[in-house]
Structure 1
Amino acid sequence: MTAAPALVESRNPADPADLIVQVPAPGAFAAVDTVERARDAQPGWHREGAAARSAALTAVAAAVEAAAGELADLAVREVGKPVTEARAEVARTVAICRYYAQAPYEPTGAVHDPAAGSGLLFTRRRPHGVAGLVTPWNFPFAIPSWKAAPALAAGNTVVLKPAPEATACARRLADIVRRAVPDGVFTALPGGPAEGNALLSVADVVSFTGSTPVGRAVVRAATARGVPVQAEMGGLNAAIVLPDADIDTAAAHIAAAVAGYAGQKCTATSRVIAVGGALGPLREALGAQLRTLRVGDPTDPATVCGPLIDERARDRVLGARAGLAELTGVTGPVTAAGDGWYTAPALVSDVPAGHRLLREEVFGPLAVLLPADDLTHAVRLTNSAAHGLVTSVHTASLDTALGALDHLDTGMIRVNAPSTGVDFHLPFGGTKESGHGPREQGRAALEFYTSGRTYTLGPAHEPGEAT
């Protein structure tokens, strides 16, 4: 008797009874076949040339823009993203595609004089082949786009394996992209670990965003095969607030970075480090800010903190904050229409050394308030985490900010700004357990999705030699 195929499904986290999509998982063999079709299509896609690849990405941007309302609504329904953020994500996706639409025209190498004699030396970057992309659910359009667009621009074909929770968003994005490119150039592959592992076993270049344990496994698998790999694995991000900072502004930035999209961002703030006399005023201001943020229905434009992605995520957050002193005045889960997976933002203090909140990314609207004696102490606390994605520093002193830049062991540092927020034309990534391999986004992405070649062209006959 043949076992029924596994099912891939996603549900509305604001109303778990609302089934968004349910499809059979294709299985490992089908995943390998998908990659082989992409491999067959890749040489032709590269030969299409810069103009065709640029036009395709421009067409994708226009199609995403035309469908912006529909796509935002789908992100709200499938992954619980507050509608204001969902609209911004779709707009960013359009901008990403337009940015990389210019990339095919960029130089792919350089010409050099030979060290001696006549001839020609030049370098050229070439696509790897098939890019295997494994993406999370929290940015269901932007993250696949900032991985796929540079890969396609460079002449690779793409197989996207989205998180099951974002299956409908990935399928809709694939519908749009496929209309602009030849068959086999872009495929969304639904599934779980079986399909993901199969993709990793055959792709020519791998890009992953997700949890640290899975990211480590991805890196091991790709490295064992000798293929290029990058892995973005989250953060345990700190906000450092100096006594000279504008406390109200800092509190507004931090509250948004703690509670926005229920803290389900790898750049969310999860540790708030108050230096010296900033502790008391910041505690009051930040608690007040968190209490004012709208928690509830993600279709409401005023909502900042919507539902957690599922029951397990909600319970993980509630378990992490159990027994700790809460400073926000809001406790316990928040219920809304549909009995979704809601919990209120919380700021906690007096967290004992070694507590999981000081070691692990909980991925929810929860932050720890920590005191520091001075900036040196604050930097030491920040760097004590195993992750190193982003740190925000809040101060009125340029000298203080510059001093912190030299000592913080994080991939990104934002001064007088929230820890959240991504400039897609600049490199993105972290240190330590937050990231492995080259950076994403900007020109760094184009380099990652290509490999360098060095060519030496000598004359058949040296000048003056008889022919």
Structure 2
Amino acid sequence: MTTQQKPADATSFVSRNPADPSDVLAEFTAPGALATADATDRARAAQPGWLHGGAAARSSALSAIAGAVEAAADELAALAVREVGKPIAEARAEVARTAAIWRYYAQAPYEPTGAVHETAAGPGLLLTRRRPHGVAGLITPWNFPFAIPSWKAAPALAAGNTVVLKPAPEATACALRLTEIAQQILPSGVFTLVPGGPAEGGALLSTADVVSFTGSTAVGATVVRAATARGIPVQAEMGGLNAAIVLPDADIERAAAHIASAIAGYAGQKCTATSRVIAVGAALEPLREALAEAVRALPVGDPADPATVCGPLISAWARDRVGAVHGDVAVLAAGATPDGPGWYAAPTLVEKVPQGHRLLGEEVFGPIAALLPADDLADAVRISNSVPYGLVTSVHTADLGAALHGLDGLDTGMVRVNAPSTGVDFHLPFGGAKASAHGPREQGHAATEFFTSSRTYTLTP
């Protein structure tokens, strides 16, 4: 995910309002690799005190952050609208989820950290115990500027790690505000923000004890290689090319509404967005008509308007990238775009997409999807699996038995039946297969396990 105004090697950045690029939210100079290493050193020095302060102190601090996020909810939602162009309804939902994430992980410090076992022979005890890694380096994208840093930081902190956060430049103002909230509550050095780009991200990879990344597949591969070379734990959540499979017995109108929102909600700028719609057999024609109508009807416009579903793209470059894929495919339906200075792209449904087209092999990250026919459920599963990614698949049908039978063949990390492909349950594991993810899952109990390592103790009299 690139910056809006500067090349990848820039040392200064500008964060602009995607709906009005003349509105500048943040201008900053990247601190550089040495400053990032210093931030990691400070976090490492603070980590023992944070851990040994005890479960009650960590739980209380995370609960307090949840309360502070709730108290600032209107401000934070408005900031997300302004900096990353998130429609206000989604922005409010993200802030509410952010508070819920911190409150959920506030209970984690009280969870068991291990188990006691009998020895194979003779007196004594065998213990297993999970301990924090130290400093957690978090590299986060711009599209969920509060929720993603939170669902990484909260479990890391709950387990006794300290955190250094390197957000995407496009979400710097949001990250700064979240950091201010956390730093008002946490001890010094426990939660540190390092703004910037590749230099700062690389320095964090070179100094952190555990790394969690969310972003593009290309950058994620670099993150994985760097962390693996150092021998530190790493998780990387990356791209998606998600399918919605619609069977003939589905509620077509309901499925069309779900799929249209998953295609173009937040301008398709979600790794869980639907980019391929697979119609099985007789579902094709009714779905074709209903989905085209639903896409045309999606409200596009100012993200501050409560009625807006599809707002602007994050940058002019992102808008032009979406426009570049329209040229050699048949457009079945397209919505309208508002007049004005923002970086908007119309929600679009295309068909008759030739094999090898980038829509069938690359994540575009915009409000566009391809309608594809399938002979039967087995053919639909084959089509769904035919891409390098494996994040999420939605399946729409009235026959749950048939769905469960067919779903066994899907190679995606998440399957959602009669629901949009978008949507995340923060108390359950989140992640994909193939090029969509590397390493352990995020969220839920899986997150606290990732941010700790297991140790075995042998105690003999």
CA deviations 1:101-153 (Å, max 9, x no partner) are 00000000000111110011111000000000000000000000000000000
2:326 and 2:441 map into 1 onto residues whose CA distance is 33
CA deviations 1:209-264 (Å, max 9, x no partner) are 00000000000000000000000012000000000000000000000000100000
In structure 2, the residue matched to 1:34 is: 39
Q: Identity of paired residues, percent?
A: 74
In structure 1, the residue matched to 2:302 is: 297
Matched, 1:411 2:423: no
Aligned counterpart for 2:148 among listed residues 143, 150, 175? 143
In structure 2, the residue matched to 1:284 is: 289
Letter in 2 for 1:49: G
Provide TM-score, normalisation by structure 1. 0.96
Assess if the C-alpha contact under 8 Å between 2:334 and 2:347 holds in 1: no
In structure 2, the residue matched to 1:370 is: 372
Letter in 1 for 2:401: D
Residue 333 of structure 2 aligns to a residue in which SS?
coil
CA deviations 1:438-457 (Å, max 9, x no partner) are 00000000000000000001
Alpha-carbon deviation of 1:203? 0.4
CA-atom RMSD, angstroms? 0.8
Runs of 4+ displaced beyond 6 Å: none
Alpha-carbon deviation of 1:401? 1.2
In structure 1, the residue matched to 2:385 is: 383
Assess if the C-alpha contact under 8 Å between 1:261 and 1:305 holds in 2: yes
In structure 1, the residue matched to 2:5 is: none
Alpha-carbon deviation of 1:398? 1.2
1:329 and 1:308 map into 2 onto residues whose CA distance is 16
2:400 and 2:380 map into 1 onto residues whose CA distance is 17
Alpha-carbon deviation of 1:329? 4.4
Letter in 1 for 2:132: P
Assess if the C-alpha contact under 8 Å between 2:333 and 2:348 holds in 1: yes
Matched, 1:335 2:338: yes
Assess if the C-alpha contact under 8 Å between 1:297 and 1:336 holds in 2: no
1:282 and 1:74 map into 2 onto residues whose CA distance is 37
Matched, 1:436 2:446: no
- Consecutive unaligned residues of structure 1, counting only runs of 5 or more, are 460-467
Matched, 1:361 2:366: no
In structure 2, the residue matched to 1:74 is: 79
Letter in 2 for 1:388: G
In structure 1, the residue matched to 2:352 is: 350
Alpha-carbon deviation of 1:8? 2.3
Letter in 2 for 1:402: L
Measured at CA, do residues 38 and 329 of structure 1 come closer, stay the same or move farther in structure 2, by a change above 3 Å? closer
- Consecutive unaligned residues of structure 2, counting only runs of 5 or more, are 1-9
Letter in 2 for 1:11: R
Assess if the C-alpha contact under 8 Å between 1:104 and 1:154 holds in 2: yes
2:12 and 2:22 map into 1 onto residues whose CA distance is 17
In structure 2, the residue matched to 1:425 is: 427
Alpha-carbon deviation of 1:323? 2.9
Letter in 2 for 1:219: V
Assess if the C-alpha contact under 8 Å between 1:8 and 1:190 holds in 2: no
Alpha-carbon deviation of 1:418? 0.2
Residue 355 of structure 2 aligns to a residue in which SS?
coil
Assess if the C-alpha contact under 8 Å between 2:361 and 2:388 holds in 1: yes
2:412 and 2:329 map into 1 onto residues whose CA distance is 28
In structure 2, the residue matched to 1:273 is: 278
Provide TM-score, normalisation by structure 2. 0.97
In structure 1, the residue matched to 2:397 is: 395
